[in-house]
Amino acid sequence: MPLEPCIPHLPDELVIQIFDSLTRIHCCPCHEEQAHYTIFDIAYLCRRFHRLISPFIYREFHYLKSGDGEHFLRTLASNPDLAALVECFEWNPDGFLHGLHDVNDRGLIADKFLEIGTPPAIRFAEGFRTLPCLDDGKTDFDNVGYRDDMFVEAVLMLTPNIKKVEVWGKFQPTFQEHPWTASMKLGIPHSFAHLSTVEFVVACTPLEDLTPLIFLPSLKSLCLHEVGRPDEEPWTPEMFYTCEVHAAAAASRVDI
C-alpha cells in the first residue's frame, strides 16, 4: 500500500516525532549531510510540514555545516519568531569568509541594533555598515579588525532563547576593544536568561574577556579547552589552560 495518501492524515505529534528522529540522525557524521537536506525537502512539501518542522530547522545552527551565515543572520534580523527558535549556535570563525556583502542586508542588521538604542549597539550598527570587502565581495572578519566578533555578537543578541554556544578556533588579541562577550556585561537585550552551556575550544583569547560568562545567572556548564594567551609566541602546551566549570552561577565556590 503506498504511503503518500496516508502522510497528510498523520497527526501532528507523529510528524514531529519523525522530524525529531531525522534531526538525531543529523548528529551522526556519516549521515548528517543527507539528513540535513532531507529535512529541508520535507519542509517544502506543504505549509503544514513547514510549520511543524521550522523549530527543528532553526533549533541548531552549525556555522560551517549549515550554509551561508549571511542568510542566517538576515533571517534572524527580519523574523523575530524564527530567531526565537534558535537554541544552539556553533561558531568556527577561523579563516572563514563571511558573505555579508549585500548593502541591504547590512542595513537591515544595522537598523536592528539601532532599535536597541544603547551606545554599544549604536557603535555596532555603525561598524557593521562600513565593513570592508575583498575583491570577491566577501568580508574576511578574521583578518579585518577581528570583526568575526561582530557577527557572533549579532547572532547572540538576536536570539533571545539561546541555550548553548560553542566557539572553536577563535583568535582574539588583547588589544581588541569590543570582544563578542561585551554585550553579556551589559545584559542587553535579553540578558541571556536561557544560556546554560558555553564551550570555548582551542582558542587564543584573554581569559578576562571570558569572565562575563561566569557571572551569567543561567550558566550551568562552562568548558574552556586549550585556551591560551594570544600575544605570546611561539605557543607551547604549557601556555594553554583547560577547565570545566559546572553550575558556575549557582555554586558558592568554584575550583579551577
Same domain, 105 and 205: yes
* Residue 33 to residues 3, 30, 84, 153, 205, Cα–Cα distance (Å): 25, 8, 25, 27, 32
Question: Number of folded domains in the chain?
Answer: 2
Q: Torsion over CA of 21, 22, 23 and 24, rounded to 10 degrees?
A: 50
pLDDT tens, N- to C-terminus, the chain (256 residues): 555 566 667 787 887 777 777 655 544 444 454 455 566 677 767 777 778 878 877 888 876 555 566 678 888 888 889 899 999 988 876 545 455 556 667 777 788 778 777 676 777 777 777 665 554 544 444 444 445 666 777 788 889 999 999 888 776 666 666 667 766 766 566 778 888 888 887 777 777 777 777 778 888 888 887 776 666 555 555 545 555 554 444 433 343 4
Classify residue 256: in a domain, yes or no. Answer: no
Same-domain status, 78 and 54: no
Determine, yes or no, domain membership for 251.
Answer: no
End-to-end alpha carbon distance in the chain: 61
Residues 138 and 232 in one domain: yes
Cell 579585518 sits on residue = 144
* 13-50 pLDDT, tens digit each: 887 777 777 655 544 444 454 455 566 677 767 777 77
Query: Which sign does the torsion angle of CA 245, 166, 83, 186 carry?
Result: positive
